[in-house]
Amino acid sequence: MKGSMVLCGVGGMGILKASEVIAHLVVQEGLSVRQSEVHGMAQRGGSVVTHLRYGEEVFSPLLFRGEADFMVAFEELEALRYLPYLRRGGTVILNRLTMCPPGFDPSHYPKHIPETLENAGFTVLAVPATDIALELGDIRVTNSVLLGVLSRVFPVGTEHSWEKALQKAFRGKALDLNLEAFWRGRG
């Protein structure tokens, strides 16, 4: 068993927390994990990416081009930006959210990103995770909705182990809401 994924979006969307949950999950299943993330200047509304690799024995915390089995994209443009890390035919969990970078004309924002990805041979699971999170009352649970969607196709972990991983990352009221968001995503 060996695999990897790339998570991407815009600073402040809960991407680091989502990677942390996945790291807990794979380790619970007896695998090792290496993950790398971005702190500091890049987080100020800029593009954010984390790499996650797991297996019996993992060394590098950084992905190779064309390696990742999965991508969890919190924003559509960012899915395109980190596409080179995804292997041909890989799966994209895509949040239906477009955020035009400040200072750019929205008419330059690429159109029909889900279709573009499908036409390039990727499997796309597109979900309005931010809308669902807002419906649940807190935009911050967007990440758990996306984790729910990922859990439908991710080869590691049972429902129970996903719940346990979420319990490690969240506490109290936040945990309840994140579990609810996870189940909405899992469907």
Residues in contact with another protein by the rule CB under 8 A: 10-11, 19-20, 23-24, 27, 32-47, 59-67, 77-78, 80-81, 83-88, 100-106, 108-110, 116, 120-122, 139
3-state secondary structure labels for all residues of the chain: CEEEEEEEEECCCCHHHHHHHHHHHHHHCCCEEEEECCCHHHHCCCEEEEEEEEECCCCCCCCCCCCEEEEEECCHHHHHHCHHHEEEEEEEEEECCCCCCCCCCHHHCCCCHHHHHHHCCCEEEEECHHHHHHHHCCHHHHHHHHHHHHHHHCCCCCHHHHHHHHHHHCCHHHHHHHHHHHHHHHC
For residue 125, the minimal CB distance to another protein (Å) is 17
For residue 129, the minimal CB distance to another protein (Å) is 15
Residue number, 106 or 187, with CB nearest to another protein: 106
For residue 187, the minimal CB distance to another protein (Å) is 25
For residue 55, the minimal CB distance to another protein (Å) is 10
Residue number, 101 or 135, with CB nearest to another protein: 101
Residue number, 72 or 77, with CB nearest to another protein: 77
For residue 61, the minimal CB distance to another protein (Å) is 4
Residue number, 103 or 155, with CB nearest to another protein: 103
Residue number, 61 or 128, with CB nearest to another protein: 61
Tokens 């506490």 -> residue: 171
For residue 130, the minimal CB distance to another protein (Å) is 9
Among positive and negative, which fits the CA dihedral 152, 27, 162, 142? negative
Which has the closest alpha carbon to 37: 57, 3, 65, 14? 14
Residue number, 81 or 164, with CB nearest to another protein: 81
